[in-house]
Protein backbone atom coordinates (compact mmCIF):
# COMPACT_ATOMS: atom_id res chain seq x y z
CA UNK A 1 0.00 0.00 0.00
CA UNK A 2 3.02 2.24 0.10
CA UNK A 3 2.85 2.66 -3.66
CA UNK A 4 -0.66 4.10 -3.29
CA UNK A 5 0.58 6.72 -0.83
CA UNK A 6 3.43 7.67 -3.17
CA UNK A 7 1.04 7.88 -6.11
CA UNK A 8 -1.36 10.07 -4.13
CA UNK A 9 1.50 12.37 -3.06
CA UNK A 10 2.68 12.57 -6.68
CA UNK A 11 -0.83 13.54 -7.87
CA UNK A 12 -1.05 16.11 -5.05
CA UNK A 13 2.28 17.67 -6.07
CA UNK A 14 1.19 17.61 -9.70
CA UNK A 15 -2.05 19.38 -8.81
CA UNK A 16 -0.20 21.94 -6.68
CA UNK A 17 2.23 22.64 -9.54
CA UNK A 18 -0.67 23.11 -11.96
CA UNK A 19 -2.32 25.60 -9.58
CA UNK A 20 0.97 27.50 -9.23
CA UNK A 21 1.34 27.67 -13.01
CA UNK A 22 -2.19 29.02 -13.41
CA UNK A 23 -1.69 31.63 -10.68
CA UNK A 24 1.64 32.75 -12.17
CA UNK A 25 0.07 33.00 -15.62
CA UNK A 26 -2.77 35.14 -14.28
CA UNK A 27 -0.30 37.39 -12.46
CA UNK A 28 1.77 37.73 -15.63
CA UNK A 29 -1.35 38.65 -17.62
CA UNK A 30 -2.29 41.24 -14.98
CA UNK A 31 1.21 42.76 -15.08
CA UNK A 32 1.09 42.86 -18.88
CA UNK A 33 -2.32 44.58 -18.89
CA UNK A 34 -1.16 47.17 -16.34
CA UNK A 35 1.98 47.82 -18.40
CA UNK A 36 -0.01 48.30 -21.62
CA UNK A 37 -2.51 50.51 -19.79
CA UNK A 38 0.32 52.66 -18.45
CA UNK A 39 1.81 52.98 -21.92
CA UNK A 40 -1.54 54.00 -23.38
CA UNK A 41 -2.13 56.59 -20.64
CA UNK A 42 1.39 58.01 -21.09
CA UNK A 43 0.89 58.25 -24.86
CA UNK A 44 -2.47 59.96 -24.32
CA UNK A 45 -0.95 62.49 -21.95
CA UNK A 46 1.90 63.16 -24.38
CA UNK A 47 -0.66 64.03 -27.05
CA UNK A 48 -1.92 66.96 -24.96
CA UNK A 49 -0.03 70.04 -26.02
CA UNK A 50 0.77 73.01 -23.82
CA UNK A 51 -1.28 76.09 -24.75
CA UNK A 52 0.77 78.70 -26.56
CA UNK A 53 0.22 81.42 -23.99
CA UNK A 54 1.42 79.14 -21.17
CA UNK A 55 4.57 78.05 -22.96
CA UNK A 56 5.98 81.58 -22.99
CA UNK A 57 5.88 81.97 -19.21
CA UNK A 58 7.59 80.07 -16.43
CA UNK A 59 9.79 80.43 -13.38
CA UNK A 60 12.88 79.64 -15.42
CA UNK A 61 12.27 82.75 -17.53
CA UNK A 62 11.88 84.87 -14.40
CA UNK A 63 15.08 83.51 -12.86
CA UNK A 64 16.97 84.09 -16.12
CA UNK A 65 15.91 87.76 -16.27
CA UNK A 66 16.61 88.64 -12.64
CA UNK A 67 19.77 86.94 -11.32
CA UNK A 68 18.84 87.08 -7.61
CA UNK A 69 15.24 86.03 -8.13
CA UNK A 70 15.98 82.33 -7.58
CA UNK A 71 17.14 82.97 -4.03
CA UNK A 72 14.06 85.00 -3.12
CA UNK A 73 11.70 82.55 -4.80
CA UNK A 74 13.28 79.77 -2.79
CA UNK A 75 13.12 81.70 0.50
CA UNK A 76 9.49 82.68 -0.07
CA UNK A 77 8.54 79.08 -0.80
CA UNK A 78 7.14 79.75 -4.25
CA UNK A 79 8.41 76.42 -5.59
CA UNK A 80 6.78 74.54 -2.72
CA UNK A 81 3.53 76.45 -3.21
CA UNK A 82 3.44 75.65 -6.91
CA UNK A 83 4.16 71.97 -6.25
CA UNK A 84 1.34 71.78 -3.67
CA UNK A 85 -1.09 73.47 -6.06
CA UNK A 86 -0.02 71.15 -8.88
CA UNK A 87 -0.45 68.08 -6.66
CA UNK A 88 -3.93 69.23 -5.59
CA UNK A 89 -4.90 69.78 -9.22
CA UNK A 90 -3.55 66.35 -10.18
CA UNK A 91 -5.52 64.68 -7.38
CA UNK A 92 -8.73 66.39 -8.49
CA UNK A 93 -8.18 65.39 -12.12
CA UNK A 94 -7.42 61.80 -11.11
CA UNK A 95 -10.57 61.70 -9.00
CA UNK A 96 -12.58 62.89 -11.98
CA UNK A 97 -10.95 60.31 -14.26
CA UNK A 98 -11.45 57.44 -11.81
CA UNK A 99 -15.14 58.26 -11.36
CA UNK A 100 -15.50 58.67 -15.15
CA UNK A 101 -16.15 62.42 -14.88
CA UNK A 102 -19.23 62.02 -12.72
CA UNK A 103 -18.13 64.64 -10.17
Q: List, for residues 7-46, the tens digit of each pLDDT value.
A: 899 999 999 999 999 999 999 999 999 999 999 998 988 8
29 and 1 in one domain?
Answer: yes
pLDDT tens-place string over residues 48-99 = 877 666 666 666 666 676 777 777 877 888 888 889 999 999 999 898 888 8
Cα dihedral 31/44/56/59 (nearest 10): -20
Give me the number of domains the chain comprises: 2
pTM of the model: 0.46
73 and 56 in one domain?
Answer: yes
Domain span at residue 83 reads 52-103
Buried b vs exposed e over 67-95: b needs ≥16 C-beta within 10 Å? Answer: eeebeebeeeeeeeeeeeeeeeeeeeeee
Going by C-alpha positions, the residue among 84, 59, 85 that lies closest to residue 72 is 59
Going by C-alpha positions, the residue among 81, 92, 87 that lies closest to residue 59 is 81
Amino acid sequence: MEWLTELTEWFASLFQSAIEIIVNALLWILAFVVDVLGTVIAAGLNMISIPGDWAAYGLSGLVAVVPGAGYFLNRLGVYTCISILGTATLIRLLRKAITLFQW
